[in-house]
Chain A
């Protein structure tokens, strides 16, 4: 019976969350569209300049009409929005290729980088933070507290410049330009993973310790349950929801970080594409980038929330 009620509540919650996503998506799309208008100067002129066409007044005027810039703002927004819903984000100023295709080309490579570094960070930080929390103030704990503090304090661009200097230029182990090779993946992933691992260890450790200090843990221990069982079945299970939320929130930082890292290592993902587009003033690509990253971030946030509620149904029922 309670399972049935729980299932109903869950369904209701999922629907509620999906509905709450709609205004956020609308505002995100409006903001992305607004970005183009925020750019100083006339879009038609910028498009022609990006293509290297000499601009006269007539040419600009013709281009303005062709791009539909003579129509009112909201009309243009809705036209763009319905296009976006069908996967059409307009064309690049620079070469006239569809923005969607350009972004999709880069997205795979960026995901490769992001997922690898996220997995690496989790593989290191989960066992380390468990050991740190269980053996508080031991040598291991203190050493990793210092290391994670340091990792958290170094910007990722600095890590990648220093790694590049050491491994590519001094030792010549890895290629300077990442290219598409597997060995090229190594340094970008490490550069993204170091600050993230530092942050994860700190937050996971604090979360596990706060679970260990709960009264029910003392109660279970008093009943003579083995320490490993307490740790894995109760403490870690309870901390898991928060850990997944922390990991989900870090995706935003990861998206920003991948722009920096891809630019440094010439990794041809979506981040390098957007930096190249900013330099070339190819703003529709930047606009599409914000929209796609925003949608992905919202969806990941929703998924982590749902996992959290599934693991710990009290959160939704009580609130």
Chain B
């Protein structure tokens, strides 16, 4: 009896945690969407008169060595990073889920083929391939996203497949088959809803990793092409004069760490909630 009650409290607490951190993440996304309206200056306007000014009322985060407003660039960078991450996570999520469910539901040759390809992509070191591909394609955000996405879908495929296999033999699927539903209908209305939660949880935990990957490639000069603002490339640009203008490094660094921590925490919170609910 005691255990049941305590588990209910745990679920309640875990749910509250998800709401709080979820709201904070939504706030970050809103900031990224309205970056243009929020930034006090144009992030790309340079000025020879305003080089490396310390933080002031006019420029709350100071200026960089081109006289650009660091706050405006951090805000613009939020747009770049969050937009790129969302696109990458969403696309790999859809591709991985579709392949995983097909593989699990139909089995046979399709299963063997898809799983072989998945293993193949997992067999190579992701970041090494990403650096080489982005480097040889000549940089740019698109190349970086392709390079990172090439391996990112495999995780979803594996999870989708294993969950499909576990619900495939349930009675309600057999009932749906007897009722004459087609394969795609069963997948869309019965299998997908039952595998979605673990997949979304996985997607949430991937956001932080993806952000680290994108900013890492940009830091190396293989992601976003300057002057487009991105936190990794801003840190790389301004680390050369970190003694003269530490603010130009510290604020984008802070933004990176806070954003990644928020999204990682969201992933953890949702995972804990799922664990608590499953134990019930």
* Cβ–Cβ contact A256 & B265, under 8 A: no
Measured CA separation A157–B211 after assembly (Å): 13
With A40-B138, A162-B253, A165-B249 as known contacts, state yes or no: A153 contacts B127, CB within 8 Å.
no
B208: which of A27, A153, A253, A255 is its contact (CB, 8 Å)? A153
A229 within 8 A of B: no
Tell me which residues across on chain A come within 8 A of B174, comparing CB atoms.
none
A255: which of B128, B215, B220, B232 is its contact (CB, 8 Å)? B128
B120 within 8 A of A: yes
Residue of B nearest to A150 (CB): B261
With A157-B235, A169-B242, A256-B126 as known contacts, state yes or no: A149 contacts B268, CB within 8 Å.
yes
Please report which residues of chain A, range 148-189, place their CB below 8 angstroms from some CB of chain B when the two chains form the complex: 149-150, 152-158, 161-162, 164-165, 169
Tell me which residues across on chain B come within 8 A of A164, comparing CB atoms.
239, 242
* Cβ–Cβ contact A278 & B127, under 8 A: no
* Cβ–Cβ contact B216 & A260, under 8 A: yes
* Cβ–Cβ contact A294 & B261, under 8 A: no
* Cβ–Cβ contact B128 & A289, under 8 A: yes
Range class of the A interface residue count: 35 or more
* Cβ–Cβ contact B126 & A278, under 8 A: no
* Cβ–Cβ contact B264 & A152, under 8 A: yes
* Cβ–Cβ contact A35 & B128, under 8 A: no
* Cβ–Cβ contact A256 & B264, under 8 A: no
* Cβ–Cβ contact A155 & B216, under 8 A: yes
CB distance from A278 to the nearest CB of B (A): 4
Please report which residues of chain B, range 73-132, place their CB below 8 angstroms from some CB of chain A when the two chains form the complex: 120, 123-132
Name 19 extra pairs, CB < 8 A, besides A153-B261, A157-B232, A157-B235. A35-B132, A35-B136, A38-B133, A38-B137, A149-B268, A152-B264, A153-B257, A158-B257, A161-B235, A252-B125, A253-B126, A256-B127, A256-B130, A259-B128, A259-B220, A260-B216, A278-B135, A290-B128, A290-B132
- A-B pairs with beta carbons under 8 Å apart, 29 shown: A28-B124, A31-B124, A35-B133, A35-B136, A38-B136, A39-B136, A39-B137, A149-B268, A153-B257, A155-B256, A157-B215, A157-B235, A158-B253, A161-B242, A252-B126, A253-B127, A255-B127, A256-B125, A256-B126, A256-B127, A260-B216, A274-B131, A274-B132, A286-B135, A290-B129, A294-B124, A297-B123, A297-B124, A298-B123
